[in-house]
Structure 1
Amino acid sequence: MVELQLLRPDHAAALLAFERENRAYFAASVPDRGEEYFASFDQRHCDLLAEQEAGVCFFHVLLNPAGEVLARVNLIDVTQGEAELGYRIAERAAGRGIATAAVREVCALAARSYGLATLRAATTLDNTASRTVLTRTGFTITGETQLADRPGLTYFRSLNDFSPPHAHR
């Protein structure tokens, strides 16, 4: 069974292994993070935790029972009830519905735990899997964009359907 967890200091080694193992796979659909990302990973991890502590981002990892990271699902640039959703799924976990389930769970957390009302997302046109995940989880296309040098689409999702039910009087 997999478990979604808010990023913690002790996730660093598993997260670094996830990024290294999937680097070429990710680079096929999103711009590569570059050597500096890996060289300064420990500091970057600390910086992410500080951003999370400040409430401007919420970083999540999806772990298998062995503690290996299968995915990361992040909410960044949290402001005025809105955030941007981003995610990466390990190659070995792709095509099994894990991304869809993890995005749904983060949408629920965004509304119920983080007080967010809307989410934005973007993906490249050639990333069919990501476009499918966004559509299956209730995002709608809002326009076109460029991600690095590649054409992409922007998405929006209201989180109203995750709001707690009103008490009956």
Structure 2
Amino acid sequence: MPELQLLRPDHAPALLAFEQENRAYFAASVPDRGDDYFARFEERLHALLAEQEAGACYFHVLVGDAGEALGRVNLVDVADGGADLGYRVAQRAAGRGLATSAVREICGLASTRYGLTTLRAAATLDNAASRTVLARAGFTVTGETRLSGRPGLTFLRRL
């Protein structure tokens, strides 16, 4: 059973492999991270760990039985009892309920471990899978938005 773990430096190899293997898959539904992200991966990882140490963000890796990264679930822009939720699951792990399970788990952690009271999220209209995950995890639609020029919806969950 995959385990949601707080991001650590030793996740780097599995996380980089996850991002590289799924780049095209992710780009079909969210903006591509760009070549610079991969070229400067280690530097970016250290910056994320510093943000996490400061309590501004909490980054999580969904780790499979063999130590591989199967997904990411992040809480960013933590302030005033709330945070923005972002998540992605590997193509080979999609459709098995892992995203829904991980988002539900992060909602519990957000409340009990991080002391948050609300989570915000957004998904494009053409990303039905992401919108379904949010609905199954107890998020409600709060409005409309644009994500990288594409129409989307905003969501909120009170914890």
1:80 is matched with 80
What is the correspondence of 1:2-151 to structure 2 with a 5 Å cutoff? 2-151=2-151
Q: Secondary structure at the match of 2:59?
A: strand
Unaligned runs of 5+ in 1: 160-169
> Can you list the C-alpha shifts for 1:16-73, whole angstroms capped at 9, x where unaligned?
0000000000000001000000000000000000000000000000011111000000
One-letter amino acid of the counterpart of residue 103, structure 2 = V
Q: Deviation string for 1:112-137 (max 9, x for gaps)?
A: 00000000000110000000000000
Alpha-carbon distance in structure 1 between the residues aligned to 2:142 and 2:31:
22
Question: Which ranges of 4 or more aligned residues in structure 1 deviate by more than 4 Å?
Answer: none
Query: Distance between the aligned counterparts of 1:36 and 1:149, measured in 2?
Result: 21
In 2, distance between residues paired with 1:63 and 1:88? 13
Structure 1-normalised TM-score?
Answer: 0.93
Structure 1 SS opposite 2:134: helix
How far did residue 90 of structure 1 move? 0.3
Distance 2:149 2:30 in 1: 10
Tell me the C-alpha RMSD between the 2 structures.
0.4
Gaps of 5+ in 2: none
**SS across alignment from 1:30:** coil
TM normalised by structure 2 equals 0.99
Identity %: 72
The number of residues matched between the two structures is 159
Task: Determine the C-alpha separation between the residues in 1 that align with 2:36 and 2:5.
Answer: 26
- Counterpart secondary structure, 1:26: helix
